Amino acid sequence: MNIKITGTGSYVPDVIETNDNFHQHNFLNADGTTIESPNEVIVEKFKAITGIAERRYAKDHLTSSDLAFFAAEKAIEDAAINREDLDYIICAHNFGDVKQGAIQSDLLPCLASRVKHSLRIKNPKCVAYDILFGCPGWVEGVIQAQAFIKAGMAKKCLVVGSETLSRVVDKHDRDSMIYSDGAGATIIEATDDKEGGILSHETASYTYDEAYYLFFGNSNNQDLCRDTRYLKMHGRKIYEFALNEVPKAMKACLDESGMDIKDLKKIFIHQANEKMDEAIIKRFYRLYKTEVPEDIMPMNIQTFGNSSVATVPTVFDLVKRNKLGSHELNKGDIIMFASVGAGMHINAITYRY
C-alpha cells in the first residue's frame, strides 16, 4: 500500500492588487513615526527583496471557507472519487473566516465543518477538523492524513489550506504588502499502486526563543484602536531562522527517504519571500556540496503573493496542470514539499510523483 496524492485543486482570487496601489498608503514605523522614504522607494525596495509585484485578494463577499470549498471541489473532481467516501477533511488556516471590514475572526463552527457543509456530504463518519500550524499547515495536514491511513483509520482524506490574509494586515505596516489570499486542496488516498507516494516526512517546532516571531499586535498607526490586533512579524529574525533551520530539516527528510539529492526534480517550498526561498535552496544544496539545478523551485509569489497555508498546494496544482511556465511533472519524479512559519514550525515531505 502506498499513500498518494490522487487529486489537486486550487482557487486563485480574481482581485489583483498591484504594487502601484500601495503608493498612496500611509506607511509608518512600528512606533508610529513617519518613514522618511517616499512610498515609491519603499515599494521598489520591497519588490527587490520579496520578488512580489502583485498579489490576489478575495472578493468582498467571500471568506476563507468559501475559497477552501472551491479548491476542494476541484480536488475531488480531479481524484474522481465519491465525496461521501471521505474519512477526514483537514482544513489548515490561521485566522478562520474574517468578513470584509470585520475586526473579529469567526471559528464557530470550524472551517472544516463549513467546507463539509458546502460540499453537502451527509456521511457523519467523515470527520472534519481544523489545524492551526502557521504557514506549514497544509504540509502538516498531509502528514496527519498519512498517519490516519497508515493506522487503518482512513482510506481517503481531503486536506485543504486556505487563507484571507488581506483582512488581518495592518495597512500602515510595510509588511502588509507581502500577504495575499487563496486556497489549495489535495485528496490523499491509500492505493495499491506500488509506485509513487509519500516516502518520508520531517516536522519540528521551535518555540523556546522563536515562538513569537510572528504575532498579533497593534497597528503602526497610534491613533487606531489599541484593542484591535493585526498580523505582525519580526522579519529579520524569521529570515535568519529559516536560513539556518529549514535546509537541515529538508536534508533530514530527504536522507530518511533514501533518495539521492541528484534524484530530486522539484522542490515546492512555501512562497514566503523570493530571496529567502532562493537562499534556503542554496543552503540545502550546499549541505550536499552540490550546485542548485536549474528550474528546481517553481515560484508564483511574484504574482500571487504569500497566501500562507495555500502557497504550497497552489503552486503544486499549477505545475501538475502545466500552468506555471515550463515547469512540469513526470511519473516517477522525486519531489519535495517544504514550509516554515508561525510557531515557529518547519516541515517537509519527500514524495515520488
Read off the pLDDT of residues 335-347 as tens digits, 9 standing for 90 and up.
999 999 999 999 9
d(CA 298, CA 336): 11
Q: How far is CA 46 from CA 42, 175, 176, in A?
A: 6, 9, 11
Q: What percent of the chain has pLDDT over 90?
A: 88
What is the total count of domains within the chain?
Answer: 2
Question: pLDDT digits over 82-137, tens only?
Answer: 999 999 999 999 999 999 988 789 999 999 999 999 999 999 999 999 999 999 99
The pairing of beta strand 345-352 with beta strand 334-341: antiparallel
N-term to C-term CA, the chain: 15
d(CA 6, CA 136): 20
d(CA 236, CA 135): 17
20 three-class SS: helix
Task: Quote the domain boundaries for residue 314.
Answer: 198-352
d(CA 4, CA 199): 10
Residues 14, 158: one domain? yes
pTM score: 0.94
Residues 292, 343: one domain? yes
Is residue 339 within 8 Å of 139, Cβ to Cβ?
Answer: yes
Residues 163, 47: one domain? yes
Mean pLDDT rounded to a whole number for the chain: 95
210 three-class SS: coil
Residues 181, 46: one domain? yes
Q: What is the pLDDT of residue 124?
A: 97
Q: What is the pLDDT of residue 351?
A: 97
Question: pLDDT digits over 195-252, tens only?
Answer: 889 999 999 999 999 999 999 999 999 988 888 899 999 999 999 999 999 999 999 9
Residues 108, 228: one domain? no
Residues 207, 332: one domain? yes
pLDDT for 74 beyond 80: yes
Residues 83, 174: one domain? yes
Q: What percent of the chain has pLDDT over 70?
A: 100
Question: pLDDT digits over 3-44, tens only?
Answer: 999 999 999 999 999 999 998 888 989 988 988 888 899 999
- Choosing from 194, 215, 247, the residue where a domain stops is 194
Residues 12, 36: one domain? yes
pLDDT for 161 beyond 80: yes
How many C-beta atoms surround the C-beta of residue 258 within 10 A? 10
Residues 164, 74: one domain? yes
- Choosing from 194, 221, 239, the residue where a domain stops is 194
Q: What is the pLDDT of residue 102?
A: 84
Q: What is the pLDDT of residue 227?
A: 82
Q: What is the pLDDT of residue 293?
A: 95
- Choosing from 169, 194, 219, the residue where a domain stops is 194
Residues 164, 203: one domain? no
119 three-class SS: coil
**What are the backbone angles phi and psi of residue 37, rounded to the nearest 5°?**
-70, 145
Residues 238, 333: one domain? yes
Q: How far is CA 244 from CA 41, 109, 247, 312, 340, in A?
A: 30, 38, 7, 21, 12
pLDDT for 300 beyond 90: yes
d(CA 66, CA 96): 11
d(CA 352, CA 195): 8
The CATH number of the domain holding residue 153 is 3.40.47.10
Q: What is the pLDDT of residue 348?
A: 98
What the block records as the C-alpha cell of 204 is 519540528
Residues 152, 279: one domain? no
Q: How far is CA 76 from CA 7, 70, 85, 215, 336, in A?
A: 6, 10, 11, 34, 23
Is residue 138 within 8 Å of 159, Cβ to Cβ?
Answer: yes
